[in-house]
Amino acid sequence: MSMIERISGLLQEVEAFSASSKEQLEEYRIKWLSKKGEISVLFDDFKTVPGELKKEVGQKLNHLKTKAQDKINELKERFESRNEDTKGTLDLSLPGMPTLQNGTRHPLTLVKNEIIDIFARIGFTISDGNEIEDDWHNFSALNTPENHPARDMQDTFYVSLNPEMVLRTQTSSVQVHIMQSKKPPIRTISPGRVYRNEAISARAHCQFHQVEGLYIDEKVSFADLKQTLLYFAKEMFGTDTKIRLRPSYFPFTEPSAEMDISCTICKGSGCNVCKYTGWVEILGCGMVDPQVLINCGIDEKKYKGFAFGMGIERITMLKYQVKDLRLYFENDIRFLKQFTSA
Ligand code: DAH
């Protein structure tokens, strides 16, 4: 092969070359341009070229050397700038980018869990009930037979296919199931959703949440009820919280009471939450009516009990000052994001 052919063969190789890595580039630099590289060898062989061809071959050889040099430099630069670009942004030791934002617990869930924790500390277990309930568990067993005026206190959704079935209007229905299926001593709370046929407004909703409490044993007194509720109020709203019990009426308790706490907002000095009385009502309670014990198959001569029921929305309103009930059910992310769970 003549010098000219060798030079143009190598030139084609140089022009077509593209390195896929820095290492490959270095390999070709050595192959072409090092002291023993192909181009250097050509320069050595140049001595043997006859005088009349020296000019042409010399020019082609120089051209090849420049081309090879340029190619190597150009590719080298490309690799280096690529490294520069990625140096600042690519850190393989960084943890992965989260694609989903962490959510927060719903304020009603936060408060429900707090209530559960408080009662669990004094030995109350948790019981669950059904949201679709029969009339007997929701009303009759709780001393509220059909046509009893107390049914008017709670506007009821009936399940249309079966008029015997209702959406429970109160978690008191869970009491009945527990007393029917367990032997005293019973000490339990039942959180859950309840339904009432009410027009939706800032102060009323057709669905809300309650926590029911039930304690049945041989010597349970009204003093035990008061002490339990005082403990709850102090744990929930702070140790300086006071309680007061006002006589009231519920069909399933006798005597019955409603409990107020000293206003958490104004500390008793008067504000629009407590309507300037210094007190806010948070729950209903009383001693379980002996007839309810009989209805549920518990020996009313041997056992006594107390019960209480509170609305979770109301407790949440006092804790977080959310006054419009509708906000709890709209799931507006801007509202929910304000509550961070511990
Ligand atoms: N169930 C009642 C209501 O929804 C609340 C209640 C009052 C529950 C007194 C009780 C109780 O267990 O003893 O208004």
Decide: 251 in ligand 1 pocket, CB within 6 A. no
For residue 75 the two structure tokens come to 């590719």
User: Given CA atoms 171, 176, 182, 183 in this order, what sign does their dihedral have?
Assistant: positive
What is the C-alpha to C-alpha distance for residues 114 and 342, in angstroms, rounded to an integer?
11
Nearest in space to 323 (alpha carbons), one of 253, 274, 286? 274
Decide: 289 in ligand 1 pocket, CB within 6 A. no
Taking 70 as the threshold, does the pLDDT of residue 29 lie above it?
Answer: yes
The residue among 196 and 1 whose pLDDT is bigger is: 196
Is 100 a domain residue? no
59 in the same domain as 113: no
Rounded to 10°, the helix 107-120/222-237 angle is 130
274 in the same domain as 201: yes
What is the C-alpha to C-alpha distance for residues 6 and 4, in angstroms, rounded to an integer?
5
Domain boundary among 21, 52, 85: 85
pLDDT digits (tens, 9 = 90+) for 280-296: 999 999 999 999 999 99
Domain boundary among 85, 115, 132: 85
Taking 80 as the threshold, does the pLDDT of residue 154 lie above it?
Answer: no
Cα-to-centroid distance, 284 and ligand 1 (Å): 5
Is 130 a domain residue? yes
CATH code of the domain in which 223 resides? 3.30.930.10
List, in sequence order, every residue forming a beta bridge with 194; answer none if it has no partner.
208
Decide: 253 in ligand 1 pocket, CB within 6 A. yes
Is 120 a domain residue? yes
72 in the same domain as 20: yes
Q: What does pLDDT average to over the chain?
A: 91
80 in the same domain as 113: no
256 in the same domain as 210: yes
Is 183 a domain residue? yes
CA 308 to chain centre: 29
73 in the same domain as 219: no
Count of CA atoms in the C-beta half-sphere (13 A) of 116? 14
The reported pLDDT for the residue numbered 145 is: 83
Nearest in space to 154 (alpha carbons), one of 252, 281, 243, 273? 252
157 in the same domain as 61: no
The reported pLDDT for the residue numbered 227 is: 98
Is 33 a domain residue? yes
Over residues 39-67, the mean pLDDT reads 90
Cα-to-centroid distance, 273 and ligand 1 (Å): 22
The reported pLDDT for the residue numbered 81 is: 76
Is 93 a domain residue? no
287 in the same domain as 191: yes
Over residues 231-251, the mean pLDDT reads 96
The reported pLDDT for the residue numbered 87 is: 58
The residue among 25 and 253 whose pLDDT is bigger is: 253
55 in the same domain as 195: no
Residue type present at position 244: R
The reported pLDDT for the residue numbered 83 is: 65
The reported pLDDT for the residue numbered 86 is: 58
Q: How confident is the model at residue 88 (pLDDT cuts 50, 70, 90)?
A: low
Contact between residue 233 and residue 241 where contact means Cβ atoms under 8 Å apart: yes
Decide: 262 in ligand 1 pocket, CB within 6 A. no
pTM: 0.72
Taking 60 as the threshold, does the pLDDT of residue 341 lie above it?
Answer: no
Q: How confident is the model at residue 175 (pLDDT cuts 50, 70, 90)?
A: very high
Is 16 a domain residue? yes
Over residues 300-321, the mean pLDDT reads 95
Over residues 178-203, the mean pLDDT reads 95
Ligand 1 atom having least distance to the Cα of 288 = 13
Is 96 a domain residue? no
Q: Which domain holds residue 34?
A: 3-85
Decide: 311 in ligand 1 pocket, CB within 6 A. no
315 in the same domain as 277: yes
Please give the share of the chain, as a percent, with pLDDT higher than 70: 96
User: Given CA atoms 318, 113, 331, 314 in this order, what sign does their dihedral have?
Assistant: negative
What is the C-alpha to C-alpha distance for residues 24 and 44, in angstroms, rounded to an integer?
26
- Domain count for the chain, please give it: 2
Residue type present at position 206: C
Decide: 38 in ligand 1 pocket, CB within 6 A. no
